[in-house]
Structure formats: C-alpha cells, structure tokens
C-alpha cells in the first residue's frame, strides 16, 4: 500500500490550468524529492495533497484511503504532516515547551497550557522526539538558527506520528554549516515506514537523500526515477536550460 498516491491530478486556479494529469506514488519508507523550475507547480501539488486546494480532476490517497474530498485537518488525522516555507514556532517558549504543546495537542486536542510538573509522559515524549532531531531542549525557540528552527518544525510534526510527510524546501535559508545535520535528520524521517515527499532546490541534498526524484515542469510530471537516471535524462536537462540542476 502506498503511503501517498496522487492519481491523474489536475488543478485549475479559476480558469487557469496549473497542474495537469500528475500521477505520483510514495511508498512507505521512501523519500521522493520533487524538483522543477520556479512556477512548475510544486507548491500547488502540495496544496492539493494537503487539502488546501481541491483538484479539478483525479484522486489523492493516503495509505490507500481516498482523501480527495477531505479537509486538511482530517487528512492530518489520517497521518499527513506538512511543513511550510516559513517558520511557525512559539518564539518565547523553549524548544521542549514547543514540542510538548504539540504532543499534548496530538494526544487529546486539549488547549489547556502544558504544565511542567503535571505531565511527565508528555515531557518524556517531547524529549524522545528532540533526541531524534538532535536538538537541545532548553534553548528558547526564538534564539535558534534557521537550521535548528527547521529541526524544531520537524519535531512538531513528529508529535502526531505522521505516516506521510510533505517537506517544503527544508534547506531554505539554512546556512551551509547546518545543512549536513539537517540532512541527517531528514534521512531518519523515513524510519517506521514513513513516506516523505520533499520539495528542495539544493540538488546536492536531493541527490544525497532521495530514493527517487520527481521532476515537474509547466504543471506536469516530466519524469520520476532514481537520482542517477534523472541526472542522465535529456528531457530533464532541457527543462532546466539556463538553470542550475
Ligand atoms: N491561486 C493561484 N492563482 C493563479 N495562479 C496561481 C495560483 N497559484 C499558483 N499559481 C501559478 O501557478 C504556477 C505554479 O505555481 P507554484 O507555486 O505551484 O510553483 P512552484 O513550482 O512551487 O514554484 P516555486 O519553486 O517558485 O515555489 C505559477 O505560475 C503560479 O503563478
């Protein structure tokens, strides 16, 4: 069963066709990188998969369940997690407090403030997640580097134990020295049979991390294959004429 299946998906913005007949699968435990020149339709595809945009044709399946008509929060409950290009963390709270809030929300949806002494289980779960993303618990979220903030965003997603993750340019704004550590965290996300679909412009990161690379161009999927096959694909090279691949 695929973690994610996008089947013949099209999306129009009003009358303007943006995505046409895209079919793409992500297996459990697989990391697929989604690349393509600016304006190719990568974010639009993420919006269709996460439920922010309703496709004009085709289907989206999560773990085999048809979610095409479900609202984003219901897809999240079915195990879909998504990061965005902009950071969304509570800057004045510590790293642990941020993750503990997410764990608590995932467990009960209660909006009561997380209480330091009353919920050791929540704290323990938060600690475990922070270890997985190699992030120091005591730091205030507002003081983190870009790379650390990206790790914290991933930690917040892991709080709800998603089966399928959409990562939107995780390396954007991250300094060169933080890239290897963040790449290592992303590499670990496919554990526990989790599927990952990642939009990323840094080709070295894509080639290093991806099991397969999907290439979008003018709203369609040009190719989806191993990194080596994609690098050797003449059609792909042509789509990127004038741009660094
Ligand atoms: N709501 C909308 N209304 C009209 N046009 C849109 C809308 N959303 C996206 N587009 C257009 O669709 C095309 C694809 O946009 P999209 O953001 O999906 O591309 P992208 O591959 O994510 O690009 P980038 O790498 O620059 O983020 C662009 O030409 C964009 O201007």
User: Model confidence over 138-149: pLDDT tens digits?
Assistant: 889 999 998 999
Read off the tokens for 79. 């195990």
**Which pLDDT score, from 0 to 100, does residue 138 have?**
85
Pick the CATH number of 1-79+162-245 from 1.10.4190.10, 3.40.50.300, 3.40.1010.10, 3.30.300.30: 3.40.50.300
What is the Cα–Cα distance from 245 to 177, expressed in whole angstroms? 21
Determine which of 3-12, 93-102, 187-196 has the lowest per-residue pLDDT on average: 93-102
DSSP assignment letter at 39: T
Cite the DSSP H helix spans in 78-226. Answer: 95-108, 120-132, 146-158, 179-188, 203-209
Other beta carbons within 10 angstroms of residue 183's beta carbon come to: 20
Percent of the chain with pLDDT over 70: 92
Taking the centre of ligand 1 as the mean of its atom positions, its distance from the CA of residue 121, in whole angstroms, is 42
The structure tokens 């403030």 sit at 113
**Which pLDDT score, from 0 to 100, does residue 234 have?**
85
Q: Is the CB of 20 under 6 A from ligand 1?
A: no
pLDDT tens-digit profile of 78-97?
Answer: 999 998 655 568 889 999 99
CA dihedral 188, 194, 200, 205 (to 10 degrees): 30
Sequence ranges of the domains in the chain: 1-79+162-245, 88-161
Mean pLDDT over 213-230 rounds to 95
Taking the centre of ligand 1 as the mean of its atom positions, its distance from the CA of residue 56, in whole angstroms, is 16
User: Which atom of ligand 1 lies closest to the CA of 18?
Assistant: 12
Mean pLDDT over 151-162 rounds to 92
Prediction ipTM score: 0.95
3-class state of residue 117 by DSSP: coil
């Amino acid at each position: 069963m695929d973690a994610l299946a996008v089947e013949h998906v099209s999306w129009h913005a009003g009358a303007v066709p943006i995505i046409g007949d895209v079919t793409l699968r992500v297996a459990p435990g697989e990391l697929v990188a989604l690349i393509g020149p600016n304006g190719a339709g990568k974010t639009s595809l993420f919006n269709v998969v996460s439920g922010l945009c309703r496709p004009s044709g085709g289907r989206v399946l999560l773990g085999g369940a048809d979610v095409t008509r479900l609202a984003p929060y219901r897809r999240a409950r079915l195990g879909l997690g998504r990061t965005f290009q902009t950071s969304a963390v509570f800057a004045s709270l510590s790293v642990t407090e941020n993750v503990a809030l997410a764990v608590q929300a995932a467990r009960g949806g209660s909006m009561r403030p997380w209480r330091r002494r009353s919920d050791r289980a929540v704290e323990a779960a938060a600690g475990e997640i922070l270890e997985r993303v190699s992030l120091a618990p005591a730091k205030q979220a507002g003081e983190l580097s870009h790379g650390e903030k990206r790790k914290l965003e991933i930690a917040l997603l892991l709080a709800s134990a998603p089966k399928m993750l959409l990562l939107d340019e995780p390396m954007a704004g991250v300094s060169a020295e933080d890239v290897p550590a963040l790449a290592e965290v992303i590499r670990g996300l496919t554990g526990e049979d989790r599927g990952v679909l990642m939009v990323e412009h840094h080709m070295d990161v894509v080639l290093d991390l991806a099991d397969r690379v999907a290439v979008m161009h003018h709203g369609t999927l040009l190719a989806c294959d191993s990194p080596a096959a994609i690098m050797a694909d003449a059609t792909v090279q042509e789509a990127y004429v004038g741009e660094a691949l």
